Amino acid sequence: MSVDPHIAAFLDALAKSGEKKLYEGTPEEARAGYRALAASLHPPGATVPVGSVENIVVDGASGELHARVYRPDGSGPFPTTAFFHGGGWVIGDLDTHDNVCREICRWSRVVVVSVAYRLAPEHPFPAAVDDAIAAMRWVVDHAPALGGNRLVAVAGDSAGGNLSAVVAQAFHADGVELAGQFLIYPATDLPGIHHQSWRQNATGYLLDKPLIEWFLRHYSAEARNVEDPRITPIHAGDFSGLCAAVIVTAQFDPLRDVGLDYGEALRAARVPVHIERCQGLIHGFFEMGQLSPEARRAIERSCKRFGEVIRAAR
């Protein structure tokens, strides 16, 4: 199957725009470029509707972190999900992933708490990991006050999917069972160069080989230490007893096989796993629901499945 035509047109326009590649500038320039790109994908009037949105602060590992709470329409309490955004641990923020969180809130029928963890290179590994674990503890403790019930899950895309997998492992090790994990094209095996999808999709599909390497250089010199499961969750060893997972992969994504392999590792440990293999789509398609009907269908389908998985944890 070829790339979805709506996304192919977007990629072609982006290639012809002459815009500097994210990895060609400083982290500050890359953050500004990513914010502009995200805004272009969500024109005025395209905001996904939810019941309410509130900016709050949560506890991080070294102080308070900005966060945003999304609540569904209707009367709760609802399950609660902590969300960690993608962006290679270097770029991304609450605004770039606003519509992603709205999609999860709307279609999964959960309260979403999006957390702005500290970014590299100003705060290299393990700052993001430590913040994610601390923020998850805060969400678990405060879920009822946020409109949630006793069911608390974790979600994230790309680098945020990496953090979500690490959080799920850490909480299981501490004896705290989450209701589920939603790993959206997660970076669960780094750098992933031995996978076929890396070779097939290394260039031309938004997330490419130079950008991945740029992220890893800024994240930490240790980011290539695949023995550390806080960096490479697939090397945790024992996955038995982890919470159920919904894993989303995209056909034209260099990280496709990374997500598939992690799903199979969980399945081999008898963890309930549902893998969404999204054909014709690319890394980052959760931000493209307004652009592509196929992306829209995949977003709704996978979010609804995540909501089912969480509620099955009762």
Q: Which of 241, 53, 248 is nearest to 147 (CA)?
A: 53
DSSP symbol at 243: P
Question: How far is Cα 65 from Cα 47, in angstroms, rounded to an integer?
Answer: 24
Phi, psi of 119, deg, nearest 5: -105, 150
| CA dist 28 → 35, 123, 127 (Å) | 11, 13, 18
Q: Which of 128, 147, 146, 157 is nearest to 61 (CA)?
A: 128
Question: How far is Cα 66 from Cα 54, in angstroms, rounded to an integer?
Answer: 11
Coil, helix or strand for 29? helix
Question: How far is Cα 256 from Cα 314, in angstroms, rounded to an integer?
Answer: 31
- Active-site positions? 158, 253, 283
Phi, psi of 148, deg, nearest 5: -100, 170
| Strands in 64-105 per DSSP E | 64-71, 78-84
Q: Classify the C-alpha dihedral 74-108-240-187 as positive or negative.
A: negative
Tokens representing residue 307 in the block: 């909501």
Instruction: Scan for tokens 């430590």, then name that residue.
Output: 130
